[in-house]
Amino acid sequence: MSLDVAALRQQFPILSRQIDGKPLIYLDNAATTQKPQAVLDAIIDYYTTCNANVHRGAHQLSDEATRRYEQARDTVARFINASVREEVIWTRGTTEAINLVANGLAQRLQHGDEVMVTEMEHHANLVTWQQACKRAGATLKVVPINARGELDEVEFANLLGPATRLVAMPHVSNALGTVNPVKTLTAKAKEVGAWVLIDGAQGIAHGDVDVQAIGCDFYAFSGHKMFGPTGIGALWGKRSVLADWPVWLVGGEMIQEVTYQDATWGELPNRLEAGTPDIAGAIGLAAAIDWFDSLDKQAIQTHEKALLASAHAQAEEFDGLQIIGTARNKIGVMSFMLDGAHPADVGFILDRQGIAIRTGDNCAQPLMNKLGIPGTARASFSIYNTMDEVDALFSALGKARTMLA
């Protein structure tokens, strides 16, 4: 079954915009995806029909808001195949979800313990563990990548040991597009008794995520990279692990009993969700999942692979363009360098032609330093992009090359 991209695009109001009189070509999907009308409608409907705080009110609006909010949790649990709904913890996004885990682990780490990350980490999954290790006197180990931008699986296994407490790695690299074999790597980490956290920010919208099949202990992701709102995300964690995980924030809602001298914490998921949550965000994320689930996943993956294949083929024929990241298994991210041009200049020229890309270090400075480059230009594709837009990207890059020569 093929994807009707033209019909799909009609569901995204922002794609009708023009930039400097030119049709918007949005190729910055690894930073954030655009939102279909179904998501916008769900958010507006919440605010216009049942805006109230959840779990607390003794009135109908609060009851309705609570029901929609908790139904959103059910939707996320189903989408990622959580064993129970209480394993889904609302956060502001992937970064906060990782910090929640790291804050708790830092209280349990001891001198001599080890945490493993990779050379392809986003800062959110590197600095967080770096600082946790510093606080605890633990050691941070880094798994290298090869010239194609793939993890060195032999070295991954070599770095594991009895001191490894946790392995944190991306499902998909935001800078390179590399898809990591997280199920295989998780199994290796489990052989030494380590916890495993998967940074799923880039992986969540590009295929079926089954946390039970992966076998990890934690999976973190953001709503805004899978057609949902910004400011909402989730941490999935095994109930057996989260049940006594050190609390992240304290305050309202997560309390069981309070005196002036002390407090005790409630049950999952409340114990890890202090304060008034992003109710509209959770409802919007559930709408995004329902909308995404209504599409043919095989058709989506086929379309995205075709977009990337076309981009790579044209890049190979484009004089002076170097692709950064050529993993054998990757999703729709093409990071590149244009000879003699700073990525920021390339991005500026493309923007004047209506093409939105990302430029810079992609929040992966250590990776860029390893590669010996200041940063890249990055075109990232999603389901609403077209082959014509890929062609337009390379036409615009031809103009940029001429202007910057």
Backbone angles phi, psi at 329, to 5 degrees: -120, 105
- How far, in Å, CA of 382 to CA of 401, rounded? 25
Structure tokens at 370: 């390893």
Give residue for tokens 């890890």.
272
Contacts of 7 (CB under 8 A, 6+ apart): none
Q: Residue 242: name the closest of 218, 208, 265, 209 by CA.
A: 218
- The neighbouring-strand residues paired with 336 are 323, 377
- How far, in Å, CA of 272 to CA of 255, rounded? 10
> What angle is formed at CA 357 by the lines to CA 351 and CA 363, rounded to 5 degrees?
130
Cβ-contact 318, 310 below 8 angstroms: no
Q: How many other C-beta atoms lie within 10 A of the C-beta of residue 90?
A: 24
Question: Would you list the DSSP string of 85-113?
Answer: GGGEEEESSHHHHHHHHHHHHHTT--TT-
Buried b (16+ CB within 10 A) or exposed e, 266-298: eebbbbbbbeebbbbbbbbbbbbbebbeeeeee
Cβ-contact 129, 100 below 8 angstroms: no
Cβ-contact 381, 29 below 8 angstroms: yes
Q: How many other C-beta atoms lie within 10 A of the C-beta of residue 146?
A: 12
Cβ-contact 72, 281 below 8 angstroms: no
Give residue for tokens 């997280």.
182
The verdict on whether 133 is a catalytic residue reads: no
- How far, in Å, CA of 311 to CA of 58, rounded? 56
Which residue among 50, 133, 216, 363 is the active-site one?
Answer: 363
Backbone angles phi, psi at 68, to 5 degrees: -65, -40
Which residues are identified as catalytic? 363
